[in-house]
Amino acid sequence: MTSPLAVPAARPADEHPRVCVLGDLILDHYVSGTTRRISQEAPVLVLEQEHEEYRPGGAASVAHLLRGLGAQVQLIGVTGQDAEREVLLGLLRRDHVNCTAVVADPERPTTIKHRYLGLAAGRHRQQILRVDRESTQGLSAQVQEHLAALLETALESCQVLLISDYAKGVCTPGLLRHAIQAARRAGVPVVVDPARVTDYRPYAGATLITPNRTEAGMASAQRIDSPQQAITAARVLAAQHRFHAVLVTLDAQGMVLVEQGRGKHYPTQAREVYDVTGAGDMVLAAVGACLGRGMSLPEAVPVANAAAGLEVQHLGVAQVTWEEVQQALGQRGGTLSAEQKHLELEQAARLAAQLRSQGKRIVFTNGCFDLLHAGHVTYLAEAKAQGDVLFVGLNSDESIRALKGPSRPVQKLPSRLAVLSALEMVDYVVVFQELTPVKLIEAIRPHVLVKGGDYRGREEEITGRELLARWGGRLHLATFVPGVSTTKITETIREVAA
């Protein structure tokens, strides 16, 4: 039996690892609107409500994020016997999270956080108020025993145990000790995202603990202003509490991992931060998914770093896929398949942001690419030569019909997408439904926008040209190859057929 104090060095890769999550379940409620005035009743903002949304939080958020990363999830925790429980379970079941071990305790409420978000002057929404309803009292002995029994059963089939402690009463010292000891007996590694407490003794013996800078400083009584100071604090914690490893997250400075005394700093890439909510949950989920896939801790940390970077670019907690993380890391070797090259708009925007943060020069062009010919190939090769990564916007069948008439396209979208994606110079393809690619250009924000040489002298007609000034991009007109076009090819075919 493998001890969870040492992460298995080699295990068969599992694309859908079985992960058990134990911890405090939270329901996040977002109310958003616009703030235009101050109340006449008191000196407070008036929020004109426009939208509300419920999302899983706490350990439920970790389960939600794990599903995005492709894991199978068994969730263990406690809610109240109330309407909020049903809302939370509905969200989790929609994600296909196993909730059979989520216990209803009529003596406590389901923890809910109401966040009120205001938009002013067209800027990003910002939190203006948070209202919490919760109980932080420890679980009763009866409920603890019930959870412990459920956990024992879950450990029989899971590959990793994650503990998400938000200090809401579920992760009592007794239950934590039982969980870690049971996992050790089962040979299952335990990863803990600790509460903001100074005493880590209840987590003693865990495989890995993932405090942030503030939490690690509090628990180790160390000042942490630099990665080296974080390594020192991590060594203190590991020695005091028999952790196999400690991972300290350092926001803009990345992360440090101390494993069996050896410390390493993992810098992060600079990126636009929209909302740090859920970043810690994503680190826990990503590490769990990696360990379940048979990866070592040094292999898992860069994945968690990249996943957290993608997460903070979104409002609230948002799922990130395993494929998106791998794209952000640039670890896909060899030629991508057509399916891998095909991105949705939101995926393309995220990937482009990551590439920019890595100093990559992004090129964008677009077209119908109906019957691919020599002119297209020459054009795309010249486009790729303008930078490091070429994104191609591909018109949908509907938009082509609207532009060119009912007889077009000659080739339907799946064929056009497959042929275009097979070209080595094309890195990614994004299909758009609109008549122009302006939404795509705004989302990707290319350094270079490439259009055909036939636009020379009428550049003002080029869609997106005026957007380039916003981010310092430039327009490149490719060499025009005369005598070849889809229209001429189809005309020739008709003549031969006649």
Distance (Å, rounded) from C-alpha 75 to C-alpha 77? 7
According to the model, what pLDDT value does residue 352 have? 87
- The more confidently predicted of residues 486 and 451 is 451
Confidence category of residue 494, pLDDT binned at 50, 70, 90: low
Distance (Å, rounded) from C-alpha 480 to C-alpha 494? 25
User: Which run of H or of E encompasses 128?
Assistant: strand 126-133
What share of the chain in percent tops pLDDT 70?
87
According to the model, what pLDDT value does residue 405 have? 87
What does the pLDDT look like over 270-296, one tens digit per residue? 444 444 556 889 999 999 999 998 888
Distance (Å, rounded) from C-alpha 498 to C-alpha 492? 10
CATH 3.40.1190.20 maps onto the chain at 18-329
Q: How many CB atoms lie within 10 A of CB 109?
A: 16
In which residue are the tokens 């020739």 written?
Answer: 492
According to the model, what pLDDT value does residue 167 have? 95
User: Which run of H or of E encompasses 393?
Assistant: strand 389-395
User: Which run of H or of E encompasses 496?
Assistant: helix 486-497
According to the model, what pLDDT value does residue 12 have? 41
214 CA to centre of own chain: 23
Confidence category of residue 39, pLDDT binned at 50, 70, 90: very high
Q: Beta-strand (E) ranges in 63-125? A: 72-79, 98-104, 111-119
Superfamily for domain range 18-329: Ribokinase (3.40.1190.20)
Nearest CA-CA partner of 271 in 388, 359, 353: 353
Taking every pair of Cα atoms in the chain, the longest distance, rounded to a whole number of angstroms, is 87
Nearest CA-CA partner of 161 in 34, 229, 38, 76: 76
Beta strands 25-38 and 45-58: pairing type? antiparallel
Nearest CA-CA partner of 172 in 153, 199, 191: 199
What does the pLDDT look like over 201-229, one tens digit per residue? 999 999 999 999 999 999 999 999 999 99
What does the pLDDT look like over 150-197, one tens digit per residue? 999 999 999 999 999 999 999 999 999 999 999 999 999 999 999 999
Phi, psi of 465 (to 5 degrees): -55, -40
Confidence category of residue 8, pLDDT binned at 50, 70, 90: very low
Instruction: Tell me the one-letter amino acid at 378.
Output: T
According to the model, what pLDDT value does residue 396 have? 93
Distant-in-sequence, close-in-space partners of 453: CB < 8 Å, separation ≥ 6: 477, 478, 479, 480
The torsion of the CA quartet 3, 7, 10, 14, rounded to 10 degrees, works out to 100
Beta strands 208-209 and 190-193: pairing type? parallel
- The more confidently predicted of residues 38 and 338 is 38
Omega before residue 409 within 30° of 0, cis: yes
Q: CA–CA distance from 328 to each of 304, 310, 325, 360, 386 (Å)?
A: 11, 8, 5, 12, 21
Q: Give mean pLDDT, residues 140-147.
A: 95
Q: CA–CA distance from 386 to each of 282, 383, 390 (Å)?
A: 35, 6, 9
- Answer whether residue 258 shows pLDDT above 70: yes
Omega before residue 302 within 30° of 0, cis: no
**Helix ranges, 49-140 (H):** 59-68, 83-94
What share of the chain in percent tops pLDDT 90?
55
**What tokens appear for 171 in the block?**
């992760």
Nearest CA-CA partner of 484 in 367, 372, 366: 372
What does the pLDDT look like over 329-348, one tens digit per residue? 764 444 455 566 888 888 88
According to the model, what pLDDT value does residue 38 have? 92
Spelled out in words, what is the top-level CATH class assigned to the domain 338-497?
Answer: alpha beta
- Residue 191's SS3 state is strand
Q: Does 281 participate in catalysis according to the annotation?
A: yes
Nearest CA-CA partner of 474 in 484, 464, 482: 464
- Answer whether residue 312 shows pLDDT above 80: no
According to the model, what pLDDT value does residue 415 have? 87
95 CA to centre of own chain: 15
If you ran DSSP here, which 8-state letter would residue 197 be given? Answer: -
Distance (Å, rounded) from C-alpha 191 to C-alpha 64? 17
**What tokens appear for 107 in the block?**
């003596």
Nearest CA-CA partner of 163 in 139, 185, 195, 186: 195
Q: pTM value?
A: 0.65
What does the pLDDT look like over 398-422, one tens digit per residue? 999 998 888 888 888 888 888 888 8
Distant-in-sequence, close-in-space partners of 127: CB < 8 Å, separation ≥ 6: 115, 116, 117
- Answer whether residue 33 shows pLDDT above 80: yes
If you ran DSSP here, which 8-state letter would residue 483 be given? Answer: T
- With beta carbons less than 8 A apart as the criterion, state whether 238 and 214 touch: no
- Answer whether residue 1 shows pLDDT above 50: no
Nearest CA-CA partner of 410 in 307, 312, 299, 494: 494
CATH 3.40.50.620 maps onto the chain at 338-497
Distant-in-sequence, close-in-space partners of 133: CB < 8 Å, separation ≥ 6: 109, 111, 112, 114
Q: What is the mean pLDDT of the chain?
A: 86
What is the DSSP annotation of 324-347? HHHHHHT---SPPPHHHHEE-HHH
Counted residue by residue, the chain has a size of 498
Distance (Å, rounded) from C-alpha 47 to C-alpha 40? 13
Choose the catalytic residue: 281, 370, 397, 427. Answer: 281
What does the pLDDT look like over 56-79, one tens digit per residue? 999 999 999 999 899 999 999 999
Q: CA–CA distance from 248 to each of 114, 204, 304 (Å)?
A: 29, 16, 12
According to the model, what pLDDT value does residue 13 have? 47
Q: Give mean pLDDT, residues 10-16.
A: 54
